[in-house]
Structure 1
Amino acid sequence: MEQPLAETLRRLRAHGGERDLNCRDLAGETALPEDVVEALLKGEEPPAASVEERVCARIRTLRDAHLERTGKRASDLVAEVVAALDISDVWARKLLNGQKLPNVPLLHSLAKFFKVEGGEAFFTDPPADALNRVLQSRLQKYEAPATDPVQALMQRYGVVAADLRHHSALTPEQLETLLAGVIKSVMPIEGDTPR
Protein backbone atom coordinates (compact mmCIF):
# COMPACT_ATOMS: atom_id res chain seq x y z
CA MET A 1 0.00 0.00 0.00
CA GLU A 2 1.17 3.50 -0.72
CA GLN A 3 0.05 4.87 2.62
CA PRO A 4 -1.10 3.36 5.93
CA LEU A 5 -4.77 2.94 6.79
CA ALA A 6 -4.68 5.79 9.33
CA GLU A 7 -3.56 8.24 6.62
CA THR A 8 -6.20 7.01 4.17
CA LEU A 9 -8.88 7.47 6.84
CA ARG A 10 -7.60 10.95 7.72
CA ARG A 11 -7.66 12.03 4.08
CA LEU A 12 -11.11 10.52 3.46
CA ARG A 13 -12.52 12.35 6.47
CA ALA A 14 -10.85 15.59 5.33
CA HIS A 15 -12.80 15.28 2.06
CA GLY A 16 -16.04 14.65 3.95
CA GLY A 17 -16.06 10.99 2.95
CA GLU A 18 -17.80 9.73 6.10
CA ARG A 19 -20.51 8.09 3.99
CA ASP A 20 -17.74 5.90 2.53
CA LEU A 21 -17.07 4.50 6.02
CA ASN A 22 -20.16 2.32 6.47
CA CYS A 23 -19.06 -0.75 8.45
CA ARG A 24 -21.57 -3.11 6.86
CA ASP A 25 -20.70 -2.13 3.29
CA LEU A 26 -16.98 -2.25 3.99
CA ALA A 27 -17.31 -5.67 5.63
CA GLY A 28 -19.04 -6.94 2.50
CA GLU A 29 -16.36 -5.58 0.20
CA THR A 30 -13.44 -6.86 2.25
CA ALA A 31 -14.93 -10.14 3.55
CA LEU A 32 -13.96 -8.98 7.03
CA PRO A 33 -16.29 -9.25 10.03
CA GLU A 34 -18.12 -6.00 10.82
CA ASP A 35 -16.60 -5.79 14.29
CA VAL A 36 -13.10 -5.97 12.77
CA VAL A 37 -13.95 -3.18 10.31
CA GLU A 38 -15.41 -1.10 13.14
CA ALA A 39 -12.28 -1.60 15.25
CA LEU A 40 -10.02 -0.62 12.35
CA LEU A 41 -12.07 2.52 11.65
CA LYS A 42 -11.61 3.49 15.31
CA GLY A 43 -7.85 2.98 15.02
CA GLU A 44 -7.88 -0.19 17.12
CA GLU A 45 -6.05 -3.42 16.35
CA PRO A 46 -8.33 -6.39 15.63
CA PRO A 47 -7.59 -9.79 17.19
CA ALA A 48 -4.59 -11.49 15.60
CA ALA A 49 -5.26 -14.27 13.09
CA SER A 50 -2.94 -16.42 11.04
CA VAL A 51 -2.87 -16.22 7.26
CA GLU A 52 -4.56 -19.62 7.14
CA GLU A 53 -7.39 -18.43 9.39
CA ARG A 54 -7.84 -15.26 7.29
CA VAL A 55 -8.00 -17.17 4.02
CA CYS A 56 -10.51 -19.73 5.29
CA ALA A 57 -12.69 -17.09 6.96
CA ARG A 58 -12.80 -14.90 3.84
CA ILE A 59 -13.71 -17.84 1.62
CA ARG A 60 -16.58 -18.71 3.98
CA THR A 61 -17.69 -15.08 3.97
CA LEU A 62 -17.66 -14.94 0.17
CA ARG A 63 -19.59 -18.21 0.07
CA ASP A 64 -22.26 -16.88 2.42
CA ALA A 65 -22.56 -13.57 0.57
CA HIS A 66 -22.82 -15.37 -2.78
CA LEU A 67 -25.56 -17.68 -1.50
CA GLU A 68 -27.48 -14.77 0.00
CA ARG A 69 -27.14 -12.62 -3.12
CA THR A 70 -28.07 -15.35 -5.61
CA GLY A 71 -30.58 -17.31 -3.53
CA LYS A 72 -28.87 -20.54 -4.59
CA ARG A 73 -28.34 -23.60 -2.44
CA ALA A 74 -24.90 -24.47 -1.13
CA SER A 75 -24.87 -27.59 -3.31
CA ASP A 76 -25.40 -25.44 -6.41
CA LEU A 77 -22.41 -23.29 -5.49
CA VAL A 78 -20.30 -26.38 -4.87
CA ALA A 79 -21.21 -27.69 -8.33
CA GLU A 80 -20.24 -24.34 -9.91
CA VAL A 81 -16.90 -24.31 -8.09
CA VAL A 82 -16.22 -27.93 -9.11
CA ALA A 83 -16.84 -27.04 -12.75
CA ALA A 84 -14.93 -23.74 -12.68
CA LEU A 85 -11.89 -24.89 -10.69
CA ASP A 86 -11.76 -28.51 -11.89
CA ILE A 87 -11.61 -29.97 -8.38
CA SER A 88 -13.53 -32.75 -6.67
CA ASP A 89 -16.90 -32.26 -5.01
CA VAL A 90 -15.45 -33.15 -1.60
CA TRP A 91 -12.54 -30.72 -1.97
CA ALA A 92 -14.86 -27.90 -3.15
CA ARG A 93 -17.24 -28.41 -0.22
CA LYS A 94 -14.39 -28.39 2.34
CA LEU A 95 -12.82 -25.36 0.66
CA LEU A 96 -16.07 -23.36 0.71
CA ASN A 97 -16.75 -24.36 4.31
CA GLY A 98 -13.31 -23.07 5.33
CA GLN A 99 -12.09 -26.52 6.33
CA LYS A 100 -9.24 -26.71 3.80
CA LEU A 101 -6.61 -24.19 2.81
CA PRO A 102 -6.23 -23.75 -0.96
CA ASN A 103 -2.85 -23.66 -2.69
CA VAL A 104 -1.82 -20.50 -4.58
CA PRO A 105 -3.15 -21.52 -8.04
CA LEU A 106 -6.47 -22.52 -6.48
CA LEU A 107 -6.59 -19.26 -4.53
CA HIS A 108 -6.01 -17.41 -7.80
CA SER A 109 -8.90 -19.32 -9.38
CA LEU A 110 -11.15 -18.54 -6.42
CA ALA A 111 -10.37 -14.84 -6.75
CA LYS A 112 -11.45 -15.02 -10.39
CA PHE A 113 -14.53 -17.10 -9.57
CA PHE A 114 -15.77 -14.68 -6.91
CA LYS A 115 -14.57 -11.66 -8.95
CA VAL A 116 -12.69 -10.05 -6.08
CA GLU A 117 -10.31 -7.14 -6.49
CA GLY A 118 -6.75 -7.72 -5.41
CA GLY A 119 -6.45 -11.35 -6.50
CA GLU A 120 -4.84 -13.66 -3.95
CA ALA A 121 -4.04 -10.71 -1.69
CA PHE A 122 -7.80 -10.28 -1.11
CA PHE A 123 -7.66 -13.50 0.89
CA THR A 124 -4.23 -13.18 2.51
CA ASP A 125 -3.82 -9.48 3.37
CA PRO A 126 -3.94 -8.47 7.02
CA PRO A 127 -7.27 -6.80 7.88
CA ALA A 128 -5.83 -3.25 7.85
CA ASP A 129 -4.39 -3.76 4.36
CA ALA A 130 -7.63 -5.29 3.08
CA LEU A 131 -9.65 -2.34 4.36
CA ASN A 132 -7.07 0.16 3.13
CA ARG A 133 -7.26 -1.28 -0.42
CA VAL A 134 -11.01 -0.65 -0.55
CA LEU A 135 -10.75 2.80 1.02
CA GLN A 136 -7.94 3.82 -1.35
CA SER A 137 -10.29 3.43 -4.32
CA ARG A 138 -12.89 5.56 -2.54
CA LEU A 139 -10.31 8.20 -1.71
CA GLN A 140 -9.36 8.32 -5.39
CA LYS A 141 -12.87 9.64 -6.20
CA TYR A 142 -12.10 12.74 -4.15
CA GLU A 143 -8.45 13.28 -4.95
CA ALA A 144 -8.30 12.27 -8.62
CA PRO A 145 -11.77 12.54 -10.09
CA ALA A 146 -12.21 11.29 -13.64
CA THR A 147 -11.76 13.93 -16.32
CA ASP A 148 -13.74 12.00 -18.93
CA PRO A 149 -17.41 12.89 -18.32
CA VAL A 150 -18.59 9.44 -19.37
CA GLN A 151 -16.07 7.84 -17.03
CA ALA A 152 -17.13 10.19 -14.22
CA LEU A 153 -20.79 9.21 -14.69
CA MET A 154 -19.89 5.53 -14.74
CA GLN A 155 -17.94 5.90 -11.49
CA ARG A 156 -20.71 7.93 -9.88
CA TYR A 157 -23.28 5.22 -10.59
CA GLY A 158 -21.00 2.26 -9.93
CA VAL A 159 -20.70 1.05 -13.52
CA VAL A 160 -17.53 -1.01 -13.75
CA ALA A 161 -17.25 -1.07 -17.55
CA ALA A 162 -19.20 -0.19 -20.65
CA ASP A 163 -18.38 -1.26 -24.16
CA LEU A 164 -19.99 1.56 -26.13
CA ARG A 165 -17.06 2.48 -28.32
CA HIS A 166 -15.71 -0.88 -29.43
CA HIS A 167 -16.76 -3.75 -31.64
CA SER A 168 -19.08 -1.56 -33.72
CA ALA A 169 -21.53 -1.21 -30.82
CA LEU A 170 -21.81 2.50 -31.57
CA THR A 171 -19.96 4.61 -34.05
CA PRO A 172 -18.33 7.77 -32.68
CA GLU A 173 -21.12 9.79 -34.30
CA GLN A 174 -23.81 7.63 -32.68
CA LEU A 175 -22.13 7.97 -29.29
CA GLU A 176 -21.96 11.75 -29.72
CA THR A 177 -25.65 11.86 -30.65
CA LEU A 178 -26.55 9.70 -27.66
CA LEU A 179 -24.57 11.85 -25.21
CA ALA A 180 -25.90 15.07 -26.74
CA GLY A 181 -29.45 13.77 -26.25
CA VAL A 182 -28.80 12.91 -22.63
CA ILE A 183 -27.21 16.29 -21.95
CA LYS A 184 -29.99 18.19 -23.71
CA SER A 185 -32.62 16.29 -21.74
CA VAL A 186 -31.24 17.54 -18.42
CA MET A 187 -29.96 20.99 -19.36
CA PRO A 188 -32.40 23.90 -19.67
CA ILE A 189 -32.66 25.34 -23.16
CA GLU A 190 -31.80 29.01 -23.39
CA GLY A 191 -35.00 31.06 -23.20
CA ASP A 192 -37.07 28.21 -21.77
CA THR A 193 -38.67 28.62 -18.39
CA PRO A 194 -38.06 25.79 -15.94
CA ARG A 195 -40.96 23.39 -15.58
Structure 2
Amino acid sequence: MKTYEKQYVTTRFIIIGLPLIPVESLFVVDDMSYIELGLNIKSIFKTYLAWITFAIATILLVGSQFENVFPLSSGISFFIGLISLIISIYFFFVFQKTTEQENEVRDLFQKAIGMSLLPEYFNYDKSFDFQKKLIQTLKDKFGINNWRNTIKNNDYNEAQLPLLFTICAFQHKMSKSKISQENYDKLLNEYKNIA
Protein backbone atom coordinates (compact mmCIF):
# COMPACT_ATOMS: atom_id res chain seq x y z
CA MET A 1 0.00 0.00 0.00
CA LYS A 2 1.21 3.52 -0.83
CA THR A 3 4.70 2.74 -2.09
CA TYR A 4 7.08 5.70 -2.10
CA GLU A 5 10.86 5.52 -2.40
CA LYS A 6 10.48 1.72 -2.11
CA GLN A 7 8.92 2.12 1.35
CA TYR A 8 5.37 0.94 1.93
CA VAL A 9 2.78 -0.49 4.32
CA THR A 10 1.93 -4.17 4.19
CA THR A 11 -0.07 -6.52 6.39
CA ARG A 12 0.72 -10.08 7.43
CA PHE A 13 -2.23 -12.47 7.33
CA ILE A 14 -2.98 -16.00 8.38
CA ILE A 15 -3.51 -17.53 4.94
CA ILE A 16 -5.58 -20.58 4.09
CA GLY A 17 -5.88 -20.32 0.32
CA LEU A 18 -6.73 -16.61 0.71
CA PRO A 19 -5.69 -14.09 3.37
CA LEU A 20 -8.09 -14.69 6.26
CA ILE A 21 -7.02 -13.10 9.54
CA PRO A 22 -4.79 -10.01 9.70
CA VAL A 23 -1.98 -10.46 12.21
CA GLU A 24 0.05 -7.27 11.97
CA SER A 25 0.76 -4.33 9.67
CA LEU A 26 4.32 -3.27 8.95
CA PHE A 27 6.01 -0.29 7.40
CA VAL A 28 8.75 -1.71 5.18
CA VAL A 29 11.78 0.60 5.28
CA ASP A 30 13.99 -1.57 3.07
CA ASP A 31 14.62 -5.24 2.33
CA MET A 32 16.10 -5.79 5.79
CA SER A 33 14.07 -3.60 8.14
CA TYR A 34 10.51 -2.66 9.04
CA ILE A 35 8.50 -0.95 11.78
CA GLU A 36 5.46 -2.51 13.44
CA LEU A 37 2.35 -0.34 12.99
CA GLY A 38 -0.31 -2.35 14.77
CA LEU A 39 -3.17 -3.10 12.37
CA ASN A 40 -3.56 -0.67 9.48
CA ILE A 41 -7.21 -0.73 8.39
CA LYS A 42 -6.53 0.64 4.88
CA SER A 43 -3.92 -2.04 4.19
CA ILE A 44 -6.26 -4.79 5.43
CA PHE A 45 -9.18 -3.42 3.39
CA LYS A 46 -7.05 -3.19 0.24
CA THR A 47 -5.83 -6.79 0.66
CA TYR A 48 -9.32 -8.18 1.22
CA LEU A 49 -10.77 -6.29 -1.76
CA ALA A 50 -7.94 -7.33 -4.05
CA TRP A 51 -8.25 -11.02 -3.18
CA ILE A 52 -12.04 -11.13 -3.08
CA THR A 53 -12.38 -9.49 -6.49
CA PHE A 54 -9.67 -11.81 -7.85
CA ALA A 55 -11.56 -14.87 -6.51
CA ILE A 56 -14.83 -13.61 -8.01
CA ALA A 57 -13.11 -12.94 -11.34
CA THR A 58 -11.59 -16.42 -11.40
CA ILE A 59 -14.88 -18.14 -10.55
CA LEU A 60 -16.85 -16.17 -13.12
CA LEU A 61 -14.28 -16.36 -15.91
CA VAL A 62 -13.85 -20.11 -15.46
CA GLY A 63 -17.61 -20.55 -14.91
CA SER A 64 -18.39 -18.79 -18.17
CA GLN A 65 -16.93 -21.81 -19.95
CA PHE A 66 -19.42 -24.17 -18.27
CA GLU A 67 -22.82 -22.63 -19.03
CA ASN A 68 -24.65 -25.91 -18.45
CA VAL A 69 -23.53 -26.11 -14.78
CA PHE A 70 -23.12 -22.40 -13.99
CA PRO A 71 -26.24 -20.36 -13.09
CA LEU A 72 -25.34 -17.30 -15.25
CA SER A 73 -25.14 -17.14 -19.02
CA SER A 74 -21.59 -17.36 -20.33
CA GLY A 75 -21.65 -13.77 -21.66
CA ILE A 76 -22.83 -12.25 -18.36
CA SER A 77 -20.47 -14.42 -16.36
CA PHE A 78 -17.53 -13.48 -18.58
CA PHE A 79 -18.41 -9.74 -18.45
CA ILE A 80 -18.77 -9.65 -14.64
CA GLY A 81 -15.61 -11.74 -14.29
CA LEU A 82 -13.68 -9.33 -16.50
CA ILE A 83 -14.90 -6.32 -14.51
CA SER A 84 -13.93 -8.10 -11.27
CA LEU A 85 -10.48 -8.84 -12.70
CA ILE A 86 -9.98 -5.16 -13.59
CA ILE A 87 -11.03 -4.12 -10.07
CA SER A 88 -8.66 -6.72 -8.60
CA ILE A 89 -5.76 -5.43 -10.70
CA TYR A 90 -6.60 -1.90 -9.55
CA PHE A 91 -6.38 -2.92 -5.88
CA PHE A 92 -3.20 -4.95 -6.40
CA PHE A 93 -1.30 -2.25 -8.33
CA VAL A 94 -2.91 1.15 -8.98
CA PHE A 95 -4.42 1.62 -5.50
CA GLN A 96 -0.88 1.77 -4.13
CA LYS A 97 0.00 5.00 -5.94
CA THR A 98 0.49 8.10 -3.81
CA THR A 99 -0.67 11.62 -4.57
CA GLU A 100 1.83 14.43 -5.16
CA GLN A 101 0.78 16.08 -1.90
CA GLU A 102 1.27 12.85 0.04
CA ASN A 103 4.66 12.32 -1.62
CA GLU A 104 5.70 15.83 -0.59
CA VAL A 105 4.83 15.20 3.07
CA ARG A 106 6.40 11.73 3.00
CA ASP A 107 9.56 13.31 1.60
CA LEU A 108 9.62 15.70 4.57
CA PHE A 109 9.35 12.76 6.97
CA GLN A 110 12.12 10.98 5.03
CA LYS A 111 14.40 13.98 5.54
CA ALA A 112 13.42 14.33 9.20
CA ILE A 113 13.64 10.74 10.44
CA GLY A 114 14.97 8.68 7.54
CA MET A 115 11.62 7.02 6.77
CA SER A 116 8.80 8.16 4.51
CA LEU A 117 6.08 6.92 6.83
CA LEU A 118 3.07 8.97 7.84
CA PRO A 119 1.51 8.99 11.32
CA GLU A 120 -1.79 7.81 9.82
CA TYR A 121 -0.19 4.42 9.09
CA PHE A 122 0.11 3.65 12.82
CA ASN A 123 -2.70 2.60 15.12
CA TYR A 124 -3.11 4.78 18.24
CA ASP A 125 -0.89 2.74 20.59
CA LYS A 126 1.94 2.45 18.09
CA SER A 127 1.64 6.19 17.32
CA PHE A 128 1.99 6.96 21.00
CA ASP A 129 5.03 4.67 21.36
CA PHE A 130 6.73 6.09 18.26
CA GLN A 131 6.10 9.69 19.32
CA LYS A 132 7.52 8.88 22.75
CA LYS A 133 10.76 7.70 21.09
CA LEU A 134 10.90 10.88 19.01
CA ILE A 135 10.41 13.02 22.14
CA GLN A 136 13.25 11.14 23.85
CA THR A 137 15.47 11.72 20.80
CA LEU A 138 14.63 15.43 20.93
CA LYS A 139 15.58 15.50 24.60
CA ASP A 140 18.82 13.54 24.11
CA LYS A 141 19.94 15.41 21.01
CA PHE A 142 18.87 18.97 21.85
CA GLY A 143 18.12 18.99 25.58
CA ILE A 144 14.48 19.98 25.00
CA ASN A 145 12.32 18.71 27.88
CA ASN A 146 9.00 20.31 26.91
CA TRP A 147 8.42 20.28 23.16
CA ARG A 148 5.01 21.96 23.47
CA ASN A 149 6.45 25.01 25.24
CA THR A 150 9.32 25.11 22.78
CA ILE A 151 6.84 25.40 19.89
CA LYS A 152 4.54 27.79 21.75
CA ASN A 153 7.44 30.13 22.57
CA ASN A 154 9.05 29.77 19.10
CA ASP A 155 12.18 28.69 20.94
CA TYR A 156 13.62 26.34 18.32
CA ASN A 157 16.04 26.46 15.41
CA GLU A 158 16.31 24.89 11.95
CA ALA A 159 18.18 21.85 13.27
CA GLN A 160 15.37 21.08 15.73
CA LEU A 161 12.51 21.81 13.32
CA PRO A 162 12.37 18.43 11.48
CA LEU A 163 12.06 16.47 14.72
CA LEU A 164 9.55 18.93 16.20
CA PHE A 165 7.51 18.74 12.99
CA THR A 166 7.41 14.95 13.21
CA ILE A 167 6.42 14.99 16.88
CA CYS A 168 3.64 17.51 16.07
CA ALA A 169 2.40 15.35 13.21
CA PHE A 170 2.03 12.37 15.53
CA GLN A 171 0.35 14.56 18.16
CA HIS A 172 -2.14 15.80 15.58
CA LYS A 173 -2.87 12.25 14.46
CA MET A 174 -3.64 11.25 18.04
CA SER A 175 -5.52 14.30 19.34
CA LYS A 176 -7.09 16.14 16.35
CA SER A 177 -7.43 19.28 18.46
CA LYS A 178 -7.40 22.85 17.19
CA ILE A 179 -4.01 23.55 18.79
CA SER A 180 -2.48 20.36 17.37
CA GLN A 181 -3.73 21.37 13.91
CA GLU A 182 -2.29 24.87 14.29
CA ASN A 183 1.07 23.54 15.49
CA TYR A 184 1.21 21.00 12.69
CA ASP A 185 0.34 23.58 10.00
CA LYS A 186 2.83 26.08 11.40
CA LEU A 187 5.73 23.63 11.55
CA LEU A 188 4.82 22.05 8.20
CA ASN A 189 5.06 25.45 6.48
CA GLU A 190 8.31 26.35 8.23
CA TYR A 191 9.84 22.94 7.53
CA LYS A 192 8.84 23.06 3.84
CA ASN A 193 10.71 26.35 3.52
CA ILE A 194 14.00 24.92 4.78
CA ALA A 195 13.78 21.34 3.47
The normalised TM-score by structure 2 is: 0.24
Higher relative strand content:
2
The normalised TM-score by structure 1 is: 0.24
